[in-house]
């Protein structure tokens, strides 16, 4: 029996140059599942492919259908000009995680979240404030450099990482602007700045909170300020009526992963990457 991908809808193209299409996974023309493919595009960088959804009907699992479908998806994304592909796998889907590893995918980023129930207490000597204009520009440069460095450590493409960083940091609202669902705080300990927090507090019933960046200034690391920044993020979310907070963490950032684990954050999605030769 032959497993193939058959388009199930017209291809969609978008103003930024990205594209997407859904396919049926077929065995001798009989649909047994589906897959959705798309690209992400950043100016000046090659497109990056994504397998957003790959599902095989229970009766047809463990017969190699998903393996063939994934390989066929790679060929399609290669024909779309992609040199790298991303695959998102639920953290509890052991079979899918094993398949990704067998096909040469490497886990790079974990998506974590936490249900917030109790407003945490902050240390009595900790305060926060918006960043000054000068601090904002310094923070923007440092955050971009850190993001690119972490991407390169995970084998990602420099061009795409730099372009994505420029995009994400280009149009930040004024520091502390809750109305735009983006806040950027400086954490102070006994009057001295020790770190920064970039947070989307979320919108109750519409959008969960999301931590974009937590950074402790180098001279103050290892003193518990990262934990205080995360507790501040939780307080901000709960103050606005949001009871769930999420973030992404690179696999190689073991210090941050230990912190999030100790605070009760759990992985829900694991992102895997692979270079297309």
- Give the model's pLDDT for residue 179: 57
pLDDT per residue as tens digits for the range 220-243: 999 999 999 999 999 999 999 999
The residues facing 213 across adjacent strands are 198
Residue 77's pLDDT band, with cuts at 50, 70 and 90, is very high
- Give the model's pLDDT for residue 194: 97
- Cβ neighbours of residue 49 closer than 8 Å, sequence gap 6 or more: 37, 38, 39, 74, 77, 78, 80, 82, 84, 85, 86, 276
- Give the model's pLDDT for residue 143: 93
Residue 273 scores a pLDDT above 70: yes
Residue 258's pLDDT band, with cuts at 50, 70 and 90, is very high
Residue 257's pLDDT band, with cuts at 50, 70 and 90, is very high
Mean pLDDT across 60-73: 94
- Give the model's pLDDT for residue 277: 75
Q: Which CATH class is domain 115-269?
A: alpha beta
User: Using CB atoms within 10 A of its CB, is residue 125 exposed (0-12), middle (13-18) or buried (19+)?
Assistant: exposed
- Give the model's pLDDT for residue 238: 95
Residue 28 scores a pLDDT above 60: yes
- Give the model's pLDDT for residue 46: 87
Look at residue 106 and give its three-state secondary structure: strand
pLDDT per residue as tens digits for the range 90-100: 999 999 999 99
- Ordered by start, the domain boundaries in the chain are 3-82, 115-269
């Amino acid at each position: 029996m032959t497993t193939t991908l058959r388009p199930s809808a017209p291809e969609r193209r978008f103003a930024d140059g990205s594209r997407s299409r859904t396919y049926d996974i077929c065995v001798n023309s009989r649909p047994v599942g589906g897959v959705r493919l798309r690209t992400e595009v950043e100016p000046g960088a090659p497109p990056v492919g994504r397998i957003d959804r790959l599902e095989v009907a229970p009766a047809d699992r463990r017969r190699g259908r998903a393996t063939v479908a994934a390989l066929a998806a790679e060929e399609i994304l290669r024909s779309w000009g992609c040199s790298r592909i991303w695959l998102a796998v639920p953290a509890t889907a052991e079979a899918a995680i094993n398949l990704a590893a067998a096909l040469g995918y490497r886990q790079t980023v974990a998506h974590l979240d936490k249900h917030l129930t109790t407003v945490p207490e902050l240390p009595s000597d900790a305060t926060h404030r918006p960043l000054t204009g000068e601090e904002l520009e310094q923070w923007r440069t440092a955050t971009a450099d850190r993001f690119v460095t972490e991407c390169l450590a995970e084998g990602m493409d420099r061009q795409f990482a730099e372009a994505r960083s420029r995009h994400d940091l280009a149009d930040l609202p004024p520091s502390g602007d809750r109305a735009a669902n983006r806040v950027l705080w400086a954490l102070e300990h006994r009057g001295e700045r020790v770190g920064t927090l970039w947070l989307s507090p979320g919108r109750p019933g519409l959008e969960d909170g999301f931590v974009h960046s937590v950074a402790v200034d180098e001279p103050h690391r290892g003193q518990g300020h990262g934990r205080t920044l995360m507790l501040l993020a939780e307080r901000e979310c709960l103050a606005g009526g949001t009871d769930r907070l999420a973030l992404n963490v690179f696999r190689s950032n073991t210090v941050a992963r230990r912190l999030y684990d100790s605070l009760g954050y759990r992985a829900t999605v694991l992102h895997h990457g692979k270079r297309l030769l």
